[in-house]
Amino acid sequence: MAGSSYGNIFRVTTWGESHGKGLGVVVDGVPAGLELCEEDIQIFLNRRKPGQSKFTTPRKEDDAVEILSGVFEGKTTGTPVSMVVWNKNQKSKDYSEIASYYRPGHADFCFDEKYGFRDYRGGGRSSGRETIGRVAAGAIAVKMLSGLGIKFLTYTRSIGPVTINEVNFDAHEIYNNSLYMPDADAALKASEYLEECLKSLNSSGGVCECVITGLPVGLGDPVFEKIDANLAKAIMSIGAVKGFEIGDGFDAAKATGLTNNDAFIMRDGAVSKETNHSGGTLGGMTDGSPLIFRAAIKPTPSIAATQHTVNKSGEDIEISIKGRHDPIIVPRAVVVVEAMAAITIADALLMNMGARMDRITDFYKKL
């Protein structure tokens, strides 16, 4: 199976399955000298681990990370950083029944057709637990970038029909509710909506939003390494994500050139933009404004409600999926979205270091 790696210089390779012995990641390209410990990683993993509210799977996992290589005496060595999280609460017998049929909304059919084999225990590589490695790698990227003044604010923008009200936006509220919404009223309404989903044996989708500040001008390249294109690939690689937009996104298609263009102005002696319809990018490069994007996340496909499908013998059947599943993925996906964004920005920043000869010359003259 190809395609388990992402990035050019800051390169991430994830491995492991939901019901295997463990999952992990190898991160190449981490600069030497970055202060790093397991607690730095654990803080991020705790944001995605299961069993933290009634709106997530009841599967209980500590998701305790171990750093196996690449760190010595509290600092990165410049060699690959390898990390592992051991699975401890698998219940593979919950999935034995699904070996004979294809679950709607899952990758079962495609796995069988492509590989002639599939790990039906929780989805194998297509399970949401695959994102553990992404989050661990993203934690390193965030720490590296935060030292350069680059900050990430990621949250749930909407759940089902409930969307946050910009007037009520409060960044401090994000960690005060299990849905990671920056609007207490919206979080309450979303909780009530999810209660109805649970009662009807159903699930819900939603939208995550990420705002990145402190970015320099010029990250990304204007053709095949556009920063917005790479972000789109990174975010769309998350299993449940079905849509991506940056800035005004699809609303830009309804605008005119005059209303969509961001006028340049001088602010505090520097070139700035009066508005930010572009979402912080121009020509595939960061423009110094806040970079704002959204990810649309589908409803959890594993639901207890009766659904129609076919089995491997080609027979029509009705199923009700058993097991421990999230009625909504969005809150746990927030940190995954942030992690993939941070990995992409870290990679772009390292690639950007060779963009200008004068800066390369200045750097080596100091050696």
266-297 residue pLDDT tens: 999 999 999 999 999 999 999 999 999 999 99
Total domains in the chain come to 1
Residues placed in the known binding site for NADP(+): 48, 54
Token pair for 74: 């509290």
**What pLDDT sits at residue 135?**
98
Residues placed in the known binding site: 48, 54, 125-127, 283, 298-302, 324
Token pair for 146: 């935060």
Domain that holds residue 67: 5-365
Residues placed in the known binding site for FMN: 125-127, 283, 298-302, 324
Q: Which CATH number fits the domain that encloses residue 61?
A: 3.60.150.10
Q: Tell me the pLDDT of the chain averaged across its residues.
A: 93
Sign, CA torsion 105/7/281/136: positive
> Can you tell me the distance from the alpha carbon of 70 to that of 106, in angstroms, rounded to the nearest whole number?
36
Token pair for 256: 């005119």
The answer on pLDDT for 98 being more than 90 is no
> Can you tell me the distance from the alpha carbon of 151 to that of 280, in angstroms, rounded to the nearest whole number?
14
The answer on pLDDT for 367 being more than 80 is no
The answer on pLDDT for 56 being more than 80 is no
Query: Is this model's pTM higher than 0.85 or not?
Result: yes
Token pair for 123: 């989805």
Residue 58 DSSP SS3: coil
323-356 residue pLDDT tens: 667 789 999 999 999 999 999 999 999 999 988 9
> Can you tell me the distance from the alpha carbon of 33 to that of 148, in angstroms, rounded to the nearest whole number?
14
Residue 117 DSSP SS3: coil
